[in-house]
Structure 1
């Protein structure tokens, strides 16, 4: 239970950190790029080296470390931008309601069947997405910013689908090795992007400190997430975690960062929670 609570706190803290980046003038790209170096280093520190380094490229899941590494890097940048542009509440909904994408992929790739509860959950999720992200006619800036949570919805769904796929390739038999490689790829891609970027900002101590904090939070969140899954059944863990993550993020966003949500957004948020519970609990 302690690992679950800590995992939830750390996951929400990552959103808080992204909100604070803008306030303290932290460069998102620098912080995210070097955070993956920290996360990779932490993962490799506790890897169970049951597979020799020479045999790693021979693993069926190895090629996916490059695909997922690139997807993680893109997703984390969108995560930061979405949190800063539309707030914690809508970002948390976008990240979690994306569960419908891997469910859909499972139907196509693995011929999995849906029960009546999951069908109801998927239908409810589509309604929730419309209500949460329904643009207002009065505020063009806000509605244009919705591209970030919508992009997060798709990229997070792709990430979850890829992670579900590599589970079938036995990648999670040594999760720290797999994640360490993924984080390394994310760092490599991010560093290359930074070096090739025109008009890039110089690296500063402030940005590196932010990277250290973000990297440790990202690793700790991942570690505690995996630890919690070994304790709780997934049908219990995911509904409670997603519900708590959305609720906690919304509360902090509204009361701490003064985020504004319309009644229709609140309705969408509540429906999203119910949809996620139906999809994940009755799987």
Structure 2
């Protein structure tokens, strides 16, 4: 249970750190790429193995780590575009509702069992996610056509679901007990390398702002939190406290509740009656999904 709670706390603080970008004038993309390399270095330091990337290539989990690294940086780009053009709540809903993908796979492929109460809890969780995330239309959002309005959230939904499902598969079938840190670090390394290539392209186009200390400091903090988020999630799966069909909904909804309440307390974010209703339904849904 301790790993589940730690995963929820780390993920919540990680998400809240993005609120600091505007406050401290941080260049988001640069800070995020710094975060990947910090998470990678911290993971390799934390690993019981020696830091020899070449030794990881023959490992069965290496192709999965490379694929996840690509999806990490790609989905991040789509999330940033969606937030800027459609609104943060749309990106948030698409991201959190993806919990149904690993939950369904866990039931259909791995034989996880769900009661009627669990299933109703997952359905209620989806409603709660929508209500908690429903905000006023983003004032600075750029008008977009109908295709983009649906395509970008769909990509976020699929990418987030694929990430969680792949991590669950690797943890169950591929990863050794001592490989967790190496696997996670390789994901971040691949994402960071792709990010560096991205920055080089922006630099050649004259679109990259000067590097400032705030960008570096926030990137370092994000990196430590990002590694903790991934590490605790994998360890929560290892603990078998909950089956994956239950763990992912509980994890995602708990993060959303805690992040929303923290935004209300620390960032004075306004919550509508629908948002409060969503928070209440979220708590009920967690109890229903966790019911055994």
TM range (shorter): 0.7 to 0.9
Matches for 1:63-82 after TM superposition, within 5 Å: 63-76=63-76
**CA deviation map 1:207-231 (0-9, x unaligned):** 1222111112222333445556666
Residue 21 (str. 1) matches residue 21 (str. 2): yes
Does the 8 A contact of 1:35 with 1:215 survive in 2? yes
Change (3 A) 1:205 1:230: same
Distance in 1 (CA, whole Å) between partners of 2:108 and 2:167 is 16
| Residue 251 of structure 1: aligned partner | 261
Change (3 A) 1:274 1:149: farther
- Partner of 1:35: helix, strand, or coil? helix
**CA deviation map 1:144-181 (0-9, x unaligned):** 89988876544322211111121233225310111111
Does the 8 A contact of 2:100 with 2:249 survive in 1? no
**CA deviation map 1:31-55 (0-9, x unaligned):** 0111111111111112222998655
| Residue 157 of structure 1: aligned partner | 161
Distance in 2 (CA, whole Å) between partners of 1:232 and 1:113 is 14
Which stretch shows the higher mean deviation, 240-249 or 119-128? Answer: 240-249
Structure 2 residue runs of 5 or longer lacking an equivalent are: 144-148
Does the 8 A contact of 1:96 with 1:276 survive in 2? no
**CA deviation map 1:107-144 (0-9, x unaligned):** 454465543223212332343345445576xx464888
Residue 183 (str. 1) matches residue 188 (str. 2): yes
Residue 265 (str. 1) matches residue 270 (str. 2): no
- Partner of 2:48: helix, strand, or coil? coil
Number of equivalent positions? 278
| Residue 199 of structure 2: aligned partner | 194
**Deviation for aligned residue 1:192:** 1.2
Does the 8 A contact of 1:99 with 1:157 survive in 2? yes
| Residue 32 of structure 1: aligned partner | 32
Change (3 A) 1:161 1:3: closer
Does the 8 A contact of 1:93 with 1:269 survive in 2? no
| Residue 228 of structure 2: aligned partner | 220
Distance in 1 (CA, whole Å) between partners of 2:22 and 2:97 is 25
TM-score of the superposed pair, with normalisation by structure 1:
0.77
Change (3 A) 1:178 1:2: closer
Does the 8 A contact of 1:10 with 1:217 survive in 2? yes
| Residue 284 of structure 2: aligned partner | 274
RMSD over aligned Cα atoms = 3.9
| Residue 205 of structure 1: aligned partner | 213
Which stretch shows the higher mean deviation, 122-131 or 66-75? Answer: 122-131
- Partner of 2:218: helix, strand, or coil? helix
**CA deviation map 1:66-88 (0-9, x unaligned):** 1111222234556678889547x
TM-score of the superposed pair, with normalisation by structure 2:
0.75
Distance in 2 (CA, whole Å) between partners of 1:165 and 1:128 is 27
Change (3 A) 1:256 1:205: closer
Does the 8 A contact of 1:79 with 1:91 survive in 2? yes
Which stretch shows the higher mean deviation, 228-237 or 160-169? Answer: 228-237
Distance in 1 (CA, whole Å) between partners of 2:218 and 2:48 is 29
